[in-house]
């Protein structure tokens, strides 16, 4: 499935795992994984469920990138 929603993955020393946030869906849309790959897989599964169960989907965040030439 291809979507345009954000997935934020951060290492947590306290939890000793990767914490995943799905910002467009609110502060409680989270999961985790012991490895980065597991965190990505879990995030994709949660995102699919949120999209299936949500009739009023939030707008994806748009991030502008800037290329800086040397």
Number of domains in the chain: 1
> How do residues 6-63 score in pLDDT, each as one tens digit?
999 999 999 999 999 999 999 999 999 999 999 999 999 999 999 998 888 999 988 8
Q: Which domain holds residue 36?
A: 1-70
Q: What is the CATH number of the domain that holds 23?
A: 3.30.160
Given a contact cutoff of 8 angstroms between Cβ atoms, the answer to whether 42 and 31 are in contact is yes
Higher-pLDDT residue of 9 and 1 is: 9
pTM for this model (two decimals): 0.79
Amino acid 9: pLDDT: 98
Asked if the model's pLDDT at residue 64 lies above 90, the reply is no
End-to-end C-alpha distance for the chain, whole angstroms: 37
Q: Which residues contact 67 (CB under 8 A, 6 or more apart)?
A: none
């Amino acid at each position: 499935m291809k979507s345009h929603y954000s997935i934020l993955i951060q290492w947590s020393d306290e939890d000793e795992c990767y914490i995943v946030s799905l910002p467009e869906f609110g502060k409680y849309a989270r999961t985790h994984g012991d490895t980065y790959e597991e965190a990505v897989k879990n995030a994709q599964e949660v995102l699919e469920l949120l999209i299936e169960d949500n009739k009023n989907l939030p707008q994806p965040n748009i991030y502008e990138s800037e290329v800086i030439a040397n």
